[in-house]
Amino acid sequence: KQEVTQIPAALSVPEGENLVLNCSFTDSAIYNLQWFRQDPGKGLTSLLLIQSSQREQTSGRLNASLDKSSGRSTLYIAASQPGDSATYLCAAAQGGSEKLVFGKGTKLTVNP
Amino acid sequence: GAGVSQTPSNKVTEKGKYVELRCDPISGHTALYWYRQSLGQGPEFLIYFQGTGAADDSGLPNDRFFAVRPEGSVSTLKIQRTERGDSAVYLCASSRDATGGSPLHFGNGTRLTVT
C-alpha cells in the first residue's frame, strides 16, 4: 500500500529565502507525482505534475524533482514571497491507477 | 464554467439523514474524482469516473456512500444514514483525460457537518 510522507509538517521562513519541501513515497511504481497548494478553506491548486519518465518540472519560481529509485520528490521555491504562504501537498498516482495518494502536507509561512 | 463548481459549500445535517453533494466539472473534462479531507490530513480518494462509468470506487468507505455521473458531466455523491464520522470536506476534481499526464483541477469543496 502506497504511503506518502511530507517533512516538515510546518515551515516558517523570511521573505526572499529559497526553500525546499520534501516528499517521500514507499512504492516506486508510480504513474506520476503531483504537487498542489491549498489555501485555507479552499480546494487544491495544481502546481506541477511530473510523469514517471521525467526527472523534474519547472514553473516560474517552482521546481519539482522526482527520484523514483529513492522514493523521493522535492519542491524548490525560489525567492519566497508572503503570497506563497499556504499548505503544500504532494500526491503519488500508483501505476495503472488514477487514484492519488496524498501526504498530509507542509504548512508554509513566509514572513514579510 | 471557469472551474470546478461544488454545491452546497456547506451542509449541516442530523445523524441518520440522507445528503447529496453536487459537482460540476470543467467543461470537456472526461475524468472526475471525489476525495474526502479531514482536518489536518491530506485528501483521501473515494471514487473516480471516466465518462459515465465508475472506473475505481475502491475508496468508498461502505455501502452508505454512492456516486453517479449519468451523463458524463455533473456528478452527485450520495450518503445515506449519515454518521458523525462522515463529517469532513468533500472535494471534487476533474481532469481533461485519465492518461496520467493531465493535472487535476479541484473545486473548493463541500464542508459536511453531521450533528
Mean pLDDT of the B29-41 span: 94
Fill in the amino acid letter for A30: I
Distance (Å, whole) CA A50 – CA B104: 13
B62 contacts chain A (CB < 8 A) = no
The pLDDT, as a whole number, for residue B86 is 97
Residues of B with Cβ-Cβ distance to A89 under 8 angstroms: 42-43
Decide which of B34 and A95 is more confident.
B34
Q: What is the DSSP string of B22-47?
A: EEE--TT--EEEEEEE-TTS--EEEE
Mean pLDDT in order along chain A per 10 residues (112 residues): 94 97 94 94 92 94 96 97 97 82 97 96
Choose among A34, A52, A99: nearest Cβ to B45. A99
DSSP secondary structure letter of residue B12: E
Read off the pLDDT of residues B74-109 as tens digits, 9 standing for 90 and up: 999 999 999 999 999 999 999 987 666 788 999 999
Closest Cα in chain B, distance from residue A50 (Å): 8
Element (H, E) at A81: none
A7 contacts chain B (CB < 8 A) = no
Closest Cα in chain A, distance from residue B15 (Å): 24
Mean pLDDT of the B45-73 span: 94
Kindly give the pairing relationship between strand B110-114 and strand B10-13.
parallel
Read off the pLDDT of residues B55-68 as tens digits, 9 standing for 90 and up: 899 999 999 999 99
- B63 burial class (0-12, 13-18, 19+ CB within 10 angstroms)? exposed
> How many Cα atoms occupy the beta-carbon half-sphere of A112 within 13 Å?
2
Read off the pLDDT of residues B102-112 as tens digits, 9 standing for 90 and up: 889 999 999 99
The pLDDT, as a whole number, for residue A98 is 77
Residue B1 has pLDDT above 60, yes or no: no
8 Å CB contact of A97 and B56: yes
8 Å CB contact of A44 and B93: yes
Q: Which three cell numbers stand for residue A91?
A: 500526491
Distance (Å, whole) CA B66 – CA A27: 29
